[in-house]
Structure 1
Amino acid sequence: MTITYSCIANGRVVLADLALTGGSYQETAATVLRLVLLRAEPKTIIQMGSFIYHSLFIDGITYLCASDNALDTVTPSAFLKSVSDTFLRNPLKSQDPFFPSNAVADFQQVLGKYMAKDSKKKRKILRRIWWKHFKKVIIITVAILLSIIIILLSTNVIPT
């Protein structure tokens, strides 16, 4: 699972966003933001096209990310929680009205850092799963070969 896009919005105003791949994320994100605001639920998952958009809505601020896997909801939730915790510690959050500024624009770097961090975790998990699968394949292959040899020896196909 890869988080390919993330953004932070105040209402429908995007304060910071970052896309790791090309695509029309901004248009779709605007639609998703509208739906999130209409629902006004703390957490929302919406499928748009081939991406799954996960949102976290806290105190009028929407944290949004797009992933390419509908089955994994843990990684996007942890990502959004990390981003929201960092954003809420931002001293500019307390200013009223809260609109984009240089400091908020720099928050794109924070989004990038968290997206890269989650991507590295994903690689470690995939590598661990691959090794586990590989070990199973080796064990099954050895078991099948031993079974074939035992059968061939017992039927005297292979002379002893």
Structure 2
Amino acid sequence: MPDSDSTPVPILVIHTHDPLEKIVMAGGTGNWKLNALRAANCAFVALTRKGGAKRGAAWLLGRIQGIVDSPEPGRKLIRCSDFVEVDLPNVWRSDLQNPVLYTDSSVLGKSREGLEALAWEPRDAFLRRLDLTTCTADPDVEKAVAHVVDIRTAKAILAQHFKTRPDLITITV
């Protein structure tokens, strides 16, 4: 049901299979081909599920902090300062081919006031609630943005890099 103030706000909708932990640890969602000018007009990003029983449902919203260049040429990262978990069915249309949609908050049934009224958590608080451990990033990468990694994710990243299985990786603290 839409909010009483039906004034929609421009948003990005991203159709992704990335898990919650990866998005929050990265401080947003990334490596998207998008129009930076159109994206800069959006205050929020809605992430929809790419598969599973709730395919097409918005499950996470982010308050956009900025759009920055990705390490992958021609792609962008959508940085978010705050997040809120939601369960909004049927946000993604099955006829869409591109995983990036420029639209407005009416697809969520929300106005700007309705979005602002949600229980937003700053990224750091969200990380603490998820009980993830922080480590400092290389100061030359993303202006020393802190990257947060738990042991399971670290093993997965290292296994992918070294082309092996995560269970073969040992991390000593």
Calculate the TM-score normalised by the size of structure 2. Answer: 0.27
Calculate the TM-score normalised by the size of structure 1. Answer: 0.29
Q: Which has the larger radius of gyration?
A: 1
Normalized per residue, the structure richer in helix is 1
Normalized per residue, the structure richer in strand is 2
